[in-house]
Structure 1
Amino acid sequence: MSGPYVLKPDPLDARLSTTVTGIDQNGKSVETRVVTEKPLTLYLNSQEVVTMMTIGDHPDLLAVGYLKNQNMLADDDVVTDIDFDEDLDVVVVRTERETDYEEKLKKKVRTSGCAQGTVFGDVMDGFETASLPANARLRTSWLYSLTKAINTTPSLYLEAGAIHGCVLCQEDRPLVYMEDVGRHNAVDKIAGWMVLNGIPAGDKIFYTTGRLTSEMVIKTVMMGIPILVSRSGFTAWGVELAQQAGLTLIGRARGKRFVALAGSERIEFDMDPETAEDEPEKSKRKGSLAAQ
């Protein structure tokens, strides 16, 4: 595997977890690390959009990625500024022009106090017209290298649990590894990084520790990434949407094992699975918890 991560978890960041004292099954005093969870209110220009619960790292990436994945930022919208107020837990994304969503959000807020119904409808419109590159490929040797590298990377999950991870990869190299209390937040952070750095999506692989749900499939397709991999399982709607969009969908990817339920034509079997390393028992136990 070539090269280091561009961004990866920092399990030693004191802002992201805290130590709590309790007792164990024997009534003995124990100390354990737990992840932080704090609100982050997002504004698009002058309009409040949503308040999210997050661990608090990379608020700029989370904000831009959320707006992009919710179809609130068009491809030609230019982000001119991102302001984060740590004391108020507020992040403001400003664009060169007023986006199409300001008026929609104002109308929705006045009628029901929530913009998500409007957003969901527009996201599905974008999903149905999305096109993924048919010539993308996934070699099984890359998949085995990626799962090993990701599962052995020091992370907040390994330190404290109760968190999800997502990784943007290219061939056999993991590029950006993000964690959060909600897997959708981890996805949005990666989307934000891609938008702000002009990263192409057609040759990328997306890895998640969580289940392959409809939400995960929709977000991956909307980001333009043709391959989605998880160590966990599938939902029926997630599989149906992946098949509809032409997304390669691989689940239960642990050690030398995996199952593909959509887009298997992109897979190149260039390595005998019997020669791949299986997961250590500790990693297997952690993986079973990640799906919960």
Structure 2
Amino acid sequence: MSKGTKTWNMVRVDGSDAYATTDIVAEEFPLTIMINGQEFATMVCTPDHLEELVIGFLATEGAIYTIKEIEQLSIDEERGFAYVETSRPIPVGESEQKRWIGSCCGKSRAFYFQNDAKTARTVMNQFTLSPESCMQLMESFHENAHTFQRTGGVHQAAIASDGEIEIQFSDIGRHNALDKLYGHVIKNGGRKKNHVIIFSGRISSEVLLKVSKMGIGCLLSKSAPTDLALQLAEDLNITAVGFIRGGRMNVYTHPERIELKEKDDTVTPNREEFN
């Protein structure tokens, strides 16, 4: 059994028949991050690529900006703790209440936006890619979603350049999957000019902000965006592409990065066609 999944005994019902069998389910793992001996946060995640997750999460929170600020990082998987020592003091917060970050909805909006002003960035890089490349990347993305194919219970995020996926992560939390990507980028010397992020979930404002913090100018998703996410994408110079499926896609913001051949007649898309 691969890491991040478990086998569970169950009863399957098929019409009027029922029989005992097993299923593969996604593993849910609580991880507490300690910074300089103080508890920073506890999150629920998939227990793989935990080092990338911790680094990406700390960068997203504005606790670190470069890998050089981490003097030591160790993971105790048996106890569910990550121990981080940094080169400068990190304020953990005045509240005595511990912060629990769930696998579904992430942090509360009040806590999330406290860090955006200092970590979100306007993306300045310019590059182009073809619609065919977007669709091919999404096809490869689905083919590589092995944990999702086995469990149906995780989100996926990948980073690509030059038409090829460099690395792909899965996690029960959509924010965690993106944080693993961010951690990978920081560990490996930063982003490339033509990096593209591919994501399995909807394009929400929180997801868009994570992409901006990575400094990546294009986000591809098979799902729908929200209006606030698109407003942020416009302001932060990010190309947001949604509903990439069935040979079609919607370019919502900054279409100059997509090599488009416009038609004179425009048709409002029928959302039912994407369901």
Aligned equivalents of 1:114, 1:204: Cα separation in 2 = 32
Partner residue in 1 for 2:208: 217
Matched letter for residue 20 of structure 1: N
Matched letter for residue 132 of structure 1: V
Aligned equivalents of 1:210, 1:71: Cα separation in 2 = 24
Q: 1:89 to 1:83 in 2, by over 3 A?
A: same
Query: What root-mean-square deviation, in Å, do the aligned CA atoms of Structure 1 and Structure 2 show?
Result: 2.3
Is 1:257 equivalent to 2:242 in the alignment? no
Q: 1:137 to 1:122 in 2, by over 3 A?
A: farther
Contact 1:248 1:266 in 2 (8 A): yes
Partner residue in 2 for 1:157: 148
Unaligned runs of 5+ in 1: 1-11, 271-286
Q: CA deviation at 1:239?
A: 1.2
Is 1:146 equivalent to 2:137 in the alignment? yes
Contact 1:77 1:97 in 2 (8 A): no
Matched letter for residue 247 of structure 1: I
Is 1:21 equivalent to 2:31 in the alignment? no
Matched letter for residue 196 of structure 1: K
Matched letter for residue 259 of structure 1: N
Secondary structure (helix, strand or coil) at the match of 1:87 reads coil
Partner residue in 2 for 1:69: 60
Contact 2:32 2:43 in 1 (8 A): yes
Partner residue in 2 for 1:278: none
Secondary structure (helix, strand or coil) at the match of 1:188 reads helix
Aligned equivalents of 1:222, 1:106: Cα separation in 2 = 21
Q: CA deviation at 1:77?
A: 5.2
Aligned equivalents of 2:67, 2:79: Cα separation in 1 = 30
Matched letter for residue 57 of structure 2: Y
Aligned length: 254
Matched letter for residue 42 of structure 1: I
Q: CA deviation at 1:92?
A: 1.3
Aligned equivalents of 1:176, 1:79: Cα separation in 2 = 23
Q: 1:55 aligns with which of 46, 64, 67?
A: 46
Aligned equivalents of 1:228, 1:262: Cα separation in 2 = 10
Normalising by structure 1, report the TM-score.
Answer: 0.80
Secondary structure (helix, strand or coil) at the match of 2:52 reads helix
Q: CA deviation at 1:19?
A: 3.1
Contact 1:242 1:262 in 2 (8 A): yes
Partner residue in 1 for 2:237: 246
Aligned equivalents of 1:147, 1:93: Cα separation in 2 = 35
Normalising by structure 2, report the TM-score.
Answer: 0.84
Partner residue in 1 for 2:103: none
Q: 1:246 to 1:154 in 2, by over 3 A?
A: closer
Secondary structure (helix, strand or coil) at the match of 2:223 reads coil
Contact 2:75 2:82 in 1 (8 A): yes
Aligned equivalents of 2:125, 2:191: Cα separation in 1 = 15
Partner residue in 2 for 1:237: 228
Aligned equivalents of 1:48, 1:149: Cα separation in 2 = 39
Aligned equivalents of 1:200, 1:83: Cα separation in 2 = 25
Q: 1:140 to 1:15 in 2, by over 3 A?
A: closer
Aligned equivalents of 2:181, 2:233: Cα separation in 1 = 20
Aligned equivalents of 2:114, 2:67: Cα separation in 1 = 17
Aligned equivalents of 1:228, 1:34: Cα separation in 2 = 28
After TM superposition, list the pairs within 5 Å mapping 1:7-156 onto structure 2. 12-25=1-14, 26-75=17-66, 78-99=69-90, 102=91, 105-107=92-94, 109-110=95-96, 112-114=97-99, 120-126=112-118, 130-153=121-144, 155-156=146-147
Q: 1:203 to 1:169 in 2, by over 3 A?
A: same
Contact 2:205 2:228 in 1 (8 A): yes
Contact 2:156 2:199 in 1 (8 A): yes
Aligned equivalents of 2:257, 2:75: Cα separation in 1 = 41
What are the Cα deviations for residues 10-68 of structure 1, in whole angstroms up to 9, with x where unaligned? xx515533233223243222321111101011112222111111110111111010010
Matched letter for residue 206 of structure 1: I
Partner residue in 1 for 2:180: 189
